[in-house]
Chains A and B, each alone.
Chain A
Amino acid sequence: MNNPAQNITIKIAGEAGFGIKIAGATLGKVLSRMGYQMFDYTEYPSLIRGGHNTFEVTVGERVHHHTRPVHLLIALNQASVDLHQSELSFDAGVIYDSEKTKPGTGPWKLYPVPLSRITKDVGGSELMKNTVALGAALAVLGAPVEGLLAILREAFAKKKQTIIDQNVKAASSGYQFVRDTFPELFPHQVTRLGERRQMYVTGNEAVGLGAIAAGCRAYFAYPMTPSSSLLEFMAKKGPKVGMVVRQPEDEISVLNTAIGAGFMGIRSMVGTSGGGYSLMVEATGLAGITETPVVIYMGQRPGPATGLPTWSGQADLRFLMHAAQDEFPRLIVAPGDQEECFYLTAEAFNFAEKYQMPVFVLMDKNLAEGGKTVAPFDQSKIKIERGEWVSAEDIKKEGKYLRFKVTESGISPRVLPGTAGGIHETNSDEHDEYGYNIEDIPNRNAQMEKRMRKLERARAEIPPPNLYGPKDASLSLVSWGSTKGTILQALEELSNVSVNFIHFNYLWPFPTQDAVKMLQSAKQLMVVENNFTGQFDGLIRQYVGIVPQHHLRKYDGRPFWPHEIVDKVHEVIK
């Protein structure tokens, strides 16, 4: 890269159904192995085929989030040129099919490559056009083609040799064509940075890995964007890691099944999005009153109803906080990036089991489907804490077992069903300490207060929010979940401005003592979130008693771009 501080963004665009995402992921893996950091972003309409798909990846030495403008556009059809011209930098390059596509008019460096003809020449199908284009892109970027060839060989290892040969030839031909035809150096070069041991994962893959590392034994889900790729990942890995993965008839069944499994003593998890979660609301209360641990992955997308199925948002926080009738303890954790997806999912199981309550992993489409390079996950940092249990011997000593024993902590030790002496009733009705239906006042109050005490204990265990940037600043940005990367990226451009960033992973119970201290000591607050009403902003008003001075909100289904944050900060601090 000619200017190491400058990250570059590469965009691949084309018709849905033509492997845009796979091409993007392949390019990402090539660059990851060259030692670059990356963050990718995919846009696709809610169609099976025929729509317009894009994949873009920002590459550099230090990347928190994808950025615009686009420096290299790989346009696999005419629409790609027409739609994305306005996103290009003045010195951008455009790779397009010289025989099928008309380039736009602009200051860009044009790379007409006969993509279809080369594909035909190597005997490949039209689908292989991507591979030719990837070879061409690496040549434009000044990167070696060998990395791509190695990944193609790995990806098609189980296919026939002719398929491998065709792909390798397609990539090499695209690469060679550019090298032979365009000798002039493209201003954005991607040379090898050197060895860096890193992973390139999506948020959903990181969540899945976290669940597996935490000993999740059962995953239930009904397909719904953006959680479907997690279901696919779990289904693929389940038999190898000893986890049962099942797609029941609907989301109602999904959560009730997971609760049945949790009652029986295993770690279980479900995944869905807002519409599917709407069907799980009833069972969330069941987990609450029966004090059954369960981890609920909730991938937000804009709604209501079907809404914008393949886009992103952060408007379901209040929904999760209040879902199901009456009050019961629950915990909401929102990872901010792919690394946090791994560690916090594992932590979610610990909270669920220690406090015997539903724990939400609150995600969104951008984080779920976005890929990022991360330091390899460290499994040794994951501790499996299964909470309090009693054995047959304990019960024998005690002389009896009370599943819902009123304790000071609110936590009543569990028993594995099947244990001698451990019979009880796990009851969706209000119940006594054994579990029998009972409706009298002292018992109701004792059980209600016992359950709610667990929330206070959990609150005391929640780690503080993360502070990024200087301790003292005239403006503190506040956000939660996936806006973390955007804001960190923006801070890189705001090094001359007195601004810092408080990022929340744990959203409920709210607030913790640390959170109150941090928010109260800030001079001015600006809350950044992907919703209309300022759901987290409202929590700060309601529970901390501070009215944040500024906010930045967006609800169009698209992520915040770092430059939007930068502009707003400059507007506030003149």
Chain B
Amino acid sequence: MIPNPQLTNPLRAEDFNSEHFPTWCPGCGDFGIWASLKNALVKLNLPPHRVVLVFGIGCSGNFSSFVKGNVFHSLHGRALPAAIGAKLANHELDVIVIGGDGDGFAEGLNHFIQTVRSNINITYVVHDNHVYSLTVGQASPTSMKGFKGKAHPEGAFEYQLNPISLAITSGGTFVARGFAGDIPHLSDLIVQGVKHRGFSFIDVMQPCPTFNPELSYDWYRQRIYKLETTGYMPDNHFKAWEISQQPFDEKIPLGVFYREERDILEDHFPQLSRAPLVKHDLSKIDITSLLEEFM
């Protein structure tokens, strides 16, 4: 994270508003995530031009036109690879990836697991509404068993994916869950995630009143509790996994499940140690000694 010395006036959340007001449905959890991200960037003192925001495709992807920053709106499921490329090219800028559950856990699941493994220093915020909403209501990998989506009139059959457990098992170094209905808490999680040196994953419980009305704000509020209020310490891999396995329809813990300091992908490349790739001087390349090897 680079502090911004040129900034004279303190940043305000409104500084991140684009010229377009969000087109999400009234009551959509995305509004809470939108507000939390802006709050977090203010707290981090990161003005729009110092942050890279990479989006997937879905209702969460449409966010890309509702916020100011260095925005890259990628393909469905491909936000993480694009973000890895961006980060490797200029690791001095903070990179935050925003996607959805269909985007990240269906189309992009392989990228998710592999990016967790890489521990690249970026933050991944998932709008997890347990349904495909931009395509108007099909089941997603995190839909509860029996969820009646438009493509699943008899109810979703497959086992409900648990992204928190998956991230812990895949070597995640910052694994957290937030709630779109608790903006101060989610803002703080995003701040912690960006400050974490490594890959930070925040799975956000996002009510979708239009296509998944059963999982309403009230439904969540009856089940959520904050790990940090229970004396839980996020430093044990096994305990983290165990607590992440609580039945979803009974108890939904929020907060940081697991945190660990480990080498990040960028450490692996001595090429990045002196200056970011984007600052390399291309006018001084000399391949003479390379050519000699072939003579």
Between B18, B20, B114, B291, the greatest number of chain A beta carbons within 10 A of the residue's beta carbon is seen for B291
* B73 x A425 contact (CB < 8 A): yes
- Tell me the complex Cα distance, A443–B251, Å: 49
Q: Which of B48, B65, B75, B287 contacts A213 (CB 8 A)?
A: B287
We find that the number of chain B residues with CB closer than 8 angstroms to chain A is 54
- Tell me the complex Cα distance, A249–B52, Å: 23
Chain A interface main SS type: mixed
In A160-183, the 8 Å CB interface with B consists of none
Closest to A200 in B: B294
Bitwise, B45-62 to A at CB < 8 A (1) or not (0) is 000111010100100001
Nearest chain A CB to B162 CB, angstrom units: 21
Nearest chain A CB to B44 CB, angstrom units: 15
Q: B135-143, B183-191, B254-262, B272-280: which one contacts chain A? A: B272-280
Q: B31-39, B83-91, B206-214: which one contacts chain A? A: B83-91
Q: A52-60, A416-424, A491-499: which one contacts chain B? A: A416-424
Collect the chain B residues with CB atoms within 8 Å of residue A418's CB. Answer: 49-50, 70, 90, 92-93
Please tell me if A201 contacts chain B, counting CB pairs below 8 Å.
yes
Q: Which of A260, A290, A419, A422 contacts B89 (CB 8 A)?
A: A260
In A198-254, the 8 Å CB interface with B consists of 198-201, 205, 209, 212-213, 215, 217-218, 220, 237-239, 241-244, 246, 248-250, 252-254
- Tell me the complex Cα distance, A267–B87, Å: 14
- Tell me the complex Cα distance, A282–B272, Å: 29
Nearest chain A CB to B225 CB, angstrom units: 35
Q: Which of A283, A416, A420, A434 contacts B78 (CB 8 A)?
A: A283
Closest to B288 in A: A379
* A261 x B285 contact (CB < 8 A): no
* B90 x A257 contact (CB < 8 A): no
Nearest chain B CB to A371 CB, angstrom units: 9
Please tell me if B8 contacts chain A, counting CB pairs below 8 Å.
no
* B285 x A215 contact (CB < 8 A): yes
- Tell me the complex Cα distance, A283–B283, Å: 30
* B291 x A199 contact (CB < 8 A): yes
Closest to A198 in B: B295
- Tell me the complex Cα distance, A466–B83, Å: 41
Collect the chain A residues with CB atoms within 8 Å of residue B18's CB. Answer: 436
Please tell me if B24 contacts chain A, counting CB pairs below 8 Å.
no
* B85 x A259 contact (CB < 8 A): yes
Please tell me if A189 contacts chain B, counting CB pairs below 8 Å.
no
We find that the number of chain A residues with CB closer than 8 angstroms to chain B is 69
- Tell me the complex Cα distance, A425–B71, Å: 5
* B85 x A218 contact (CB < 8 A): yes
Q: Count CB-based A-B contacts (< 8 Å).
A: 197
Please tell me if A535 contacts chain B, counting CB pairs below 8 Å.
no
Collect the chain A residues with CB atoms within 8 Å of residue B86's CB. Answer: 260-261, 263-264, 417
- Tell me the complex Cα distance, A471–B221, Å: 83
**A257-B84, A264-B85, A264-B278 given as contacts; is B287 within 8 A of A437 (CB)?**
no
* A217 x B75 contact (CB < 8 A): no
Please tell me if A286 contacts chain B, counting CB pairs below 8 Å.
yes
In B101-115, the 8 Å CB interface with A consists of 110-111, 114
Collect the chain A residues with CB atoms within 8 Å of residue B287's CB. Answer: 209, 212-213, 241, 377, 379
Nearest chain B CB to A563 CB, angstrom units: 30
Please tell me if B72 contacts chain A, counting CB pairs below 8 Å.
yes
Please tell me if B130 contacts chain A, counting CB pairs below 8 Å.
no
**A417-B90, A417-B93 given as contacts; is B282 within 8 A of A384 (CB)?**
yes
* A262 x B85 contact (CB < 8 A): yes
Bitwise, A402-429 to B at CB < 8 A (1) or not (0) is 0000000000000011111111111111
Q: Which of A416, A428, A436 contacts B19 (CB 8 A)?
A: A436
Please tell me if B290 contacts chain A, counting CB pairs below 8 Å.
yes
- Tell me the complex Cα distance, A252–B80, Å: 11
* A242 x B82 contact (CB < 8 A): no
- Tell me the complex Cα distance, A254–B114, Å: 12
* A257 x B49 contact (CB < 8 A): no
* B49 x A256 contact (CB < 8 A): no
Collect the chain A residues with CB atoms within 8 Å of residue B286's CB. Answer: 379
Please tell me if A187 contacts chain B, counting CB pairs below 8 Å.
no
In A498-545, the 8 Å CB interface with B consists of none
Collect the chain A residues with CB atoms within 8 Å of residue B6's CB. Answer: 420
Nearest chain B CB to A523 CB, angstrom units: 41
- Tell me the complex Cα distance, A244–B88, Å: 8
**A418-B49, A418-B92 given as contacts; is B75 within 8 A of A256 (CB)?**
yes
Collect the chain B residues with CB atoms within 8 Å of residue A268's CB. Answer: 85, 89
Collect the chain B residues with CB atoms within 8 Å of residue A426's CB. Answer: 71-73
- Tell me the complex Cα distance, A213–B82, Å: 25
Bitwise, B66-81 to A at CB < 8 A (1) or not (0) is 0011111111001001
Collect the chain B residues with CB atoms within 8 Å of residue A424's CB. Answer: 70-71
Collect the chain A residues with CB atoms within 8 Å of residue B83's CB. Answer: 260
Please tell me if A197 contacts chain B, counting CB pairs below 8 Å.
yes
* A420 x B49 contact (CB < 8 A): yes
Collect the chain A residues with CB atoms within 8 Å of residue B285's CB. Answer: 212-213, 215, 241, 379
Collect the chain B residues with CB atoms within 8 Å of residue A290's CB. Answer: 72
* B85 x A417 contact (CB < 8 A): no
Nearest chain A CB to B278 CB, angstrom units: 5
Closest to B92 in A: A418
Please tell me if A265 contacts chain B, counting CB pairs below 8 Å.
yes
- Tell me the complex Cα distance, A220–B64, Å: 26
* B70 x A260 contact (CB < 8 A): no
Closest to A246 in B: B88
Please tell me if B271 contacts chain A, counting CB pairs below 8 Å.
yes
- Tell me the complex Cα distance, A429–B6, Å: 33
**A418-B49, A420-B6 given as contacts; is B81 within 8 A of A248 (CB)?**
yes
* B295 x A197 contact (CB < 8 A): yes
Q: Which of B50, B62, B295 contacts A199 (CB 8 A)?
A: B295
Nearest chain A CB to B41 CB, angstrom units: 12
Q: Which of A237, A417, A423, A428 contacts B57 (CB 8 A)?
A: A428
* B288 x A417 contact (CB < 8 A): no
**A384-B283, A427-B73, A436-B18 given as contacts; is B294 within 8 A of A199 (CB)?**
yes
Chosen A-B contacts, 19 in total, with CB atoms closer than 8 Å, are A197-B295, A241-B290, A248-B84, A249-B114, A256-B74, A260-B81, A260-B84, A260-B89, A261-B85, A261-B86, A263-B85, A264-B89, A267-B282, A283-B78, A286-B74, A417-B70, A420-B49, A427-B64, A435-B73
Since A258-B85, A417-B52 are in contact, a sample of 15 more A-B pairs with Cβ atoms closer than 8 Å, ordered by chain A residue number, is A32-B295, A201-B294, A213-B287, A215-B282, A220-B85, A256-B81, A261-B85, A261-B89, A262-B89, A264-B85, A267-B282, A379-B285, A379-B291, A417-B70, A423-B48
A residues with a Cβ closer than 8 A to B are 32-33, 197-201, 205, 209, 212-213, 215, 217-218, 220, 237-239, 241-244, 246, 248-250, 252-254, 256-268, 282-283, 286, 290, 376-377, 379, 384, 386, 416-429, 434-437
